[in-house]
Amino acid sequence: MTAASRDPAVERPGTSTPGEGGRDSGRLAAAALAFAIAALVSSWNPVAAPLGLVVGAASFLLGLRALTRPHGRRAAWTAIVLSGLAIAASTTVLALTAGVGRTPRSEPLIQVPPEADVGKALDSAADRTRAARDRAHRELEAVEPREAPRAPSSPPGRAPPKPPNP
């Protein structure tokens, strides 16, 4: 091992130590900003709003974590603001989709007919189809005459039940 690889104060190219503000601290803020934009884009649609809510919360936390690093503070603040907007928009879209804040209409969208009208409609439909139903019933009887109902069969692996003694 060389002295440079053992000494923690010597920074090697492409690496950074936590808290020292290397390249990685700006990447965290950029990732938080990218996630915040994705959350904001998906927050308007009721189908994608749950994803916008989850990604917005994750980008908010990433933005807070990126604020503790010296580089990328502006991107971190932007990510926090955008993710807050995405969370608010997603929550609003989900609440409105669920019906929060809506006043019910005075009359329903689908009118339920009175029972007397329903009964008349069913009776007239039965009268119109009676001949066809009777004809189909006769044809079925001609093909397969009715048999007396059978006793329930026993489960597999068991003997059939014994008939009762008279």
Amino acid found at 128: R
Predicted TM-score (pTM) of the model is 0.51
At residue 157, does pLDDT exceed 70? no
Q: What is the average pLDDT across 112-121? A: 87
Q: What tens digit of pLDDT does each residue of 73-111 get? A: 899 999 999 999 999 999 999 999 888 877 777 777 788
Query: 15: pLDDT confidence band, cut at 50, 70 and 90?
Result: very low
Q: Which pLDDT value is given to residue 136?
A: 92
Q: What is the average pLDDT across 123-133? A: 92
Q: Which pLDDT value is given to residue 102?
A: 77
C-beta of residue 72 within 8 angstroms of C-beta of residue 29:
yes
Q: What is the percent of the chain where pLDDT is above 70? A: 71
- Structure token digits, residue 27: 């990447």
Query: 2: pLDDT confidence band, cut at 50, 70 and 90?
Result: low
Count of alpha carbons within 13 Å of 42, Cβ hemisphere only?
18
Q: Which pLDDT value is given to residue 152?
A: 59
Amino acid found at 2: T
Helix 23-41 / helix 49-67 crossing angle, nearest 10 deg: 160
The secondary element (H helix, E strand) that includes residue 59 is: helix 49-67
Q: Which residue has the higher pLDDT, 1 or 39?
A: 39
Q: What is the percent of the chain where pLDDT is above 90? A: 45
Q: Which residue has the higher pLDDT, 42 or 19?
A: 42
Q: How many residues does the chain have?
A: 166
